[in-house]
Structure 1
Amino acid sequence: MTGESYIFLAGASRGVGREIAKYLTEQGKKVKALLRSPDSRSELEAMGIKVVMGDALDAAAMEQAIQGDEPISAVISTIGGLPKDGERADYLGNKNLIDAALKAGVQKFILVSSIGSGESVVAIPPQALETLKPVLLEKEQAEKYLIASGLIYTVIRPGGLKSEPATGNGVLTEDYKVAGTIHRADVAQLVCQCLDADAANHKILSAIDRTQMYGNPEFEVLTLN
């Protein structure tokens, strides 16, 4: 990524999105972050991030946010909600971002989804599925919409998320049957590595910590470089 192009990050206010924001700025990348509420604005601006306000559920606002003055080379979206949130951004918000990215001529879109979405539903226990089902169905819709969009895409499905510091044991695999937990900071590193890795293009990948897996499955790790 050269010149003045930016990475557009949706979901930077918390969780994996905040970790990605930190990691990208440490790597010297230019970041434009979408925020729905101003709570974390000053914190992100202090990191050197350009902040744009808008709600992902508003299609016109997303077009405006991504068009802007700065060319966007890639979009990363970690947006989504919990089952209690009512109208969630998991599908509609991501659909609006994907449409806006297409219109703006963005090259690559990385969607952070979840293990349990799509065919990886086999990897999670039935009781977890019961609770998360509405969210997972929306995430699957967003994945399918992205895949059909014509953009260069990477879908990353993390396992159960923890907030401790990065371990460096995070791995990506195309094996949708694996499950386990992973620290948010490790997911962030894997996501950022996928930005410039052609090996991750047009792939749906599960993200897990190789030391925190359920069972001892044999699986193949995707090599990014």
Structure 2
Amino acid sequence: MTTASYIFLAGASRGVGREIAKCLIAQQQKVKALLRTEATRDELEAMGVEVVLGDALNSEDVESAMQGVPIDAVISTVGGLPQVSERADYLGNKNLIDAAVKAKVRSFILISSIGSGDSVVALNPQALETLRTVLIEKEKAEKHLIDSGLTYTIIRPGGLKSEAATGNGILTQDPRIAGIINRADVAQLVCRCLNSDKANNQVLSAIDKNMLFGQIEFEEFSLD
């Protein structure tokens, strides 16, 4: 990765996206973040993030946002709240993926969710019913990324908590795994994937090894 290249981050205003921004800046990466509103602009710029305003649901906004600087990789955590009718989970990510293809970026990391795709087997029926609409959209985004020709990493976190990183976040290819993970630990795993060729073209579940649901034996995915 050249020093002039940027990581383009969508979803940096809150949650996992904000934690990823912190992690990237700590690694002295150049970060360009797409924000829908001005609300968190000052905070991100104070961290050293270059901010561009635009809506992921608008393809022209996204394409424009990726211009101006060389972008090495795109990371997306965008999604909508369950009560929002027009969700970014598919359309927003589709726009980001399509723009990344046009910008000829090296790789794309998509933050999805346990329960999407073949990991549907990890959820109990009640959780599945609650999240069904969201998961359908996330699965469509995953498929669009896989079919795009980009080098991809899809990370499906379990239930998310906003606490300090434990350092116990792990990845696995096993779609049966469910559990909890802190957002800061997801961010650490994302930053490690960014710098590991082993993560290329992988679909991985992310959980805290001390916050698993059930006693399923599984193999941890190594990035080393």
**With structure 1 as the length reference, what TM-score do the two structures score?**
0.99
In structure 2, C-alpha distance between the alignment counterparts of 1:104 and 1:122, rounded to whole Å = 36
In structure 1, C-alpha distance between the alignment counterparts of 2:70 and 2:97, rounded to whole Å = 16
Matches for 1:86-125 after TM superposition, within 5 Å:
86-125=85-124
RMSD value, Cα: 0.6
Matches for 1:55-134 after TM superposition, within 5 Å:
55-66=55-66, 68-134=67-133
SS of aligned partner of 2:12: coil
Report deviation, 1:77: 0.1
Is 2:148 the counterpart of 1:149?
yes
SS of aligned partner of 2:69: coil
SS of aligned partner of 1:137: helix
In structure 2, C-alpha distance between the alignment counterparts of 1:87 and 1:6, rounded to whole Å = 29
Q: In the alignment, what sits opposite 2:185?
A: 186
SS of aligned partner of 1:46: helix
Please give the per-residue CA displacement for 1:146-205, whole angstroms capped at 9, x wherever unaligned.
000000000000000001100000000000000000000000000110001111100000
Identity %: 68
Q: In the alignment, what sits opposite 1:52?
A: 52
The residue identity in structure 1 corresponding to 2:87 is R
SS of aligned partner of 1:199: helix
For structure 2, the residue ranges without an aligned partner over 5 or more in a row are none
Q: In the alignment, what sits opposite 1:15?
A: 15
Report deviation, 1:3: 2.1
Q: In the alignment, what sits opposite 1:41?
A: 41
For structure 1, the residue ranges without an aligned partner over 5 or more in a row are none
SS of aligned partner of 2:115: coil
Q: In the alignment, what sits opposite 2:138?
A: 139
SS of aligned partner of 2:40: helix
In structure 1, C-alpha distance between the alignment counterparts of 2:210 and 2:174, rounded to whole Å = 16
Q: In the alignment, what sits opposite 2:27?
A: 27
Q: In the alignment, what sits opposite 1:199?
A: 198
In structure 2, C-alpha distance between the alignment counterparts of 1:124 and 1:224, rounded to whole Å = 26
In structure 2, C-alpha distance between the alignment counterparts of 1:146 and 1:156, rounded to whole Å = 12
The residue identity in structure 1 corresponding to 2:121 is V
The residue identity in structure 1 corresponding to 2:7 is I
The residue identity in structure 2 corresponding to 1:2 is T
In structure 2, C-alpha distance between the alignment counterparts of 1:217 and 1:2, rounded to whole Å = 41
SS of aligned partner of 1:12: coil
In structure 2, C-alpha distance between the alignment counterparts of 1:110 and 1:167, rounded to whole Å = 22
Report deviation, 1:216: 1.5
Is 2:161 the counterpart of 1:162?
yes
Report deviation, 1:33: 0.4
In structure 2, C-alpha distance between the alignment counterparts of 1:10 and 1:210, rounded to whole Å = 27
Q: How many residues align?
A: 224
